Each structure stands twice: as C-alpha cells, then as structure tokens.
Amino acid sequence: MKLAELAKKSGISVSTLYEYLRSGILHPPERTSPTKSVFNTSHLKRLKKVRTLRKKERLSLLQIKKRLNSTSETAIQADGCQDVKTQIIDTALTLFSRAHYDKTKISDITKALDMGNGTFYRYFSSKEELFLHCLERLPKKMVSREAWNEVKRETDCITRLRKRGNAMLEAFHSYIGMLNHTKLVLGGEDKLLATKAAECLKSLSAPLRKDLEQAIADGQIRKIDPDLISYLLLGMNETFGHRLLMDETYTVENGFHLIEEFLRCALAPSKTLMAPHFEITLENGSRLSLSQISYQKKNFIFGDFCGGRLKIPFSSAPQIAFTHTPKCSIAHIVNAFDQEGKISVDPASKIEGTTSLGHFSIATKEVQAIIPTPQ
C-alpha cells in the first residue's frame, strides 16, 4: 500500500508517519522499483504498538523507539519461521544490490532487521547459503505480479516482449548489484553457486522463451531458437539498463521504440522477409514495382492516429490503400500480422522508391495502393 493508504488505515496523519520514518520508529517501506515503495501489514502492526505505547503508557518517541527496538527481535520470531526467513532474504537482496555482495556483512543484514546475529544463524549457516536463497527469490522479487498480469493481457508478441522488458527494466536499478554478482559466480569455482546462478537466469528468461514459443506457433514470428533468443533479449534489456545509467541521451520510451523496431525486423515471419519489394498502384491506373520504398525520405509511413502520431515501418510489409480528399489523405493499413489501422497523412507528401529504370517520386494524393510483393 502507498503512504496515503497506510495513513488512512492506521488513522495517523501523513506528516506524523514521515516523522516516524525519519526517527526510525517506523521501518522503511519495501522498494519495488527505483521510484516506487510500498508499505505492508508489518507497518500497520508497528503503528498499532506505537499508538498503544503513546496513549496507555504515555511514552515519548525516544522511549517508544527504545522499547520497540528491545522487543523487535522477539516480535520478528513470533511471526513464524518462514516469514522471518523471507524477511532476511528480501533484506539481503536489497543490501547485496545496493552495497554489493562482497561488501555486505551479516551484521549489516541483522542490523537492518533489528535482529541479533544468533537469530540469523538459526536460519542460515553462512552468507553463502543466504545468497543461494537470494538467487531463488530474485526472479519472483524483481517484477511485481501486477506488472506480469499487465503483460499477460497483451496479445501482440513484440509488444508483449516490450512490456516484459519495461517491467524488468523498472526493477533493474534496484537489483543491478545482485544481477552482476549472479553472473560473476556463474563462471566461478563453486559449482553449487554456479548451478543456482544458472537456475536464476533460467527463471528470468523462461517467460521470454514461452512468449517466443507461442508466437512461433501462432505465426507471428519466424522459426528461431526460442531458448537462445530469450537469453539474448535478457542481455539486450540489461545492456540498455546500463546505457541509461551512463547519461540522459536516451529515454526509456525512445530506447524501447528502437528495440521494438529492431525486433519486428529481426523476428518477422518468413513471408515478410521475402517481400522487400512493393507494387504501387496510381490513381490513373498505372502500376509500378518499387524497392527501397520511403515516405518523406523515411523508411516508415507516419501520420495522425487517435490524437497522436503513429509510425509503421515498411519493413513490416504493410498493405496500404489510400482514400483522398483535397485537404487530407487516409492510409488504410494492414500489417504482416493482419492488424488494421488508419492514419491521416498529408496529400502532398512524397512516396519514393527505386524502379528498374531509376528513382521514382510521386505525391501521396496520386497513389491508390501499396502492396508488398515477393522478390
């Protein structure tokens, strides 16, 4: 839940909650992305104790903090073994990612949980064993269930891959340290750690592989090795995350637009790959075969769409039929996946290409249709 919802459920004002967070009376929320944090039932339980101590025992904030810290370990243990274990793993994931594995001590983890080292060793024999459990937990922790549900509702394969990539990228900054160490131990001498690291990466790539397998079965993309391509997509997404950290040249939006355009070309069905030529029908009935087709010297046709701007690359082999008025031309488009759409374009805009005789250029208002044809 968000801070406002926590305030409503606890009956404590937002300003007071900020004071509790600053003073350490209330433990920090869980970070689900670089810009998003959430509170849970443990925060509500803590606030209930604070209210009781303030009203019934009339303790100061400093006294309340000391009282809660002295009993926090007992309270944690009372929540159940599995809950405590999960808390330790999740806290370790955060610290391993923020401060890196080698620089994180067991005492750093127990301090963050207000827990004694003895309690830690009840659940884990060493930091190495904890890291094994972190590898198992990472794929579930990186992306929220809500984000995955949003992805599942998408039917277009490439758009779905883009949404998966975006969901993982949102968590990338929070878990970059953990991901880097995972790859480091993959080629290390500790065979158990290497095996767990491999399983972790397999879990991260598995949803991508399933999407690719389904898209191949549906004819949305050409036949490729879905297992290998899933790892390449995972690496592409991670590399893009590193690029964003370097400077502000690219935004998430324009970066994923380029990646999506690349994937539509690279994974296009065979029928698309065999149709780099187009037959253009003019209003006067003439027909020409064009290659290297462009619109306004761009390799895509673009125009107004639902209050925005839509670009359709010619590499996706669209079939285009035009209807014209003196002020506007409407392009009726069907792409290689049989998806339809209409965009409004400028009648005076130029469509160009190469014929067997040389370069050809004509105003859009003179064109009746553009149809992809096999070579």
Residues 170 and 57 in one domain: no
Residues 313 and 210 in one domain: no
Residue 183 lies in a domain: yes
Reported as a single tens digit per residue, the pLDDT across 143-157 is 767 777 778 888 888
**Which of the listed residues 234, 266, 298 is the one where a domain comes to its end?**
266
Residue 198 lies in a domain: yes
| Amino acid in position 32 | T
368: CATH? 2.30.29
Nearest to 69 by CA among 6, 16, 26, 123: 26
Residue 122 lies in a domain: no
Q: What is the pTM of this model?
A: 0.51
**Which of the listed residues 239, 266, 293 is the one where a domain comes to its end?**
266
Nearest to 25 by CA among 3, 51, 58, 57: 51
Residues 261 and 277 in one domain: no
Residues 221 and 281 in one domain: no
**Which of the listed residues 231, 266, 301 is the one where a domain comes to its end?**
266
Residues 297 and 325 in one domain: yes
Residue 44 lies in a domain: yes
Residues 261 and 296 in one domain: no
Residues 154 and 202 in one domain: yes
Residues 253 and 291 in one domain: no
Q: What is the pLDDT of residue 32?
A: 53
217: CATH? 1.10.357
Half-sphere exposure of 19 (CA within 13 A, CB side): 9
Number of compact structural domains in the chain: 3
Mean pLDDT by 10 residues, the chain (375 residues): 85 82 73 61 83 77 70 43 79 85 89 85 86 84 74 84 84 80 84 87 90 88 92 91 88 86 84 65 93 89 91 86 92 84 94 90 95 78
Residue 135 lies in a domain: no
Q: What is the pLDDT of residue 71?
A: 46
Tokens of 83: 């809950």
Residue 321 lies in a domain: yes
Residue 106 lies in a domain: no
Which residues constitute the domain of residue 285?
A: 273-373
Kindly report the backbone phi and psi dihedral angles of residue 58, in degrees, each rounded to the nearest multiple of 5, phi listed first. Answer: 55, 45
Residues 181 and 253 in one domain: yes
Q: What is the pLDDT of residue 42?
A: 79
In the numeric block, the tokens 């277009």 are attached to 156
Kindly report the backbone phi and psi dihedral angles of residue 238, in degrees, each rounded to the nearest multiple of 5, phi listed first. Answer: -65, -40
Residues 229 and 293 in one domain: no
Residues 14 and 61 in one domain: yes
Reported as a single tens digit per residue, the pLDDT across 216-262 is 888 888 889 999 999 999 999 889 988 988 988 888 888 888 888 88
Residues 282 and 228 in one domain: no
Tokens of 214: 């389904």
54: CATH? 1.10.1660.10
Residue 107 lies in a domain: no
106-119: b or e for each residue (b if 16 or more CB lie within 10 Å)? beebbebbbbeeeb
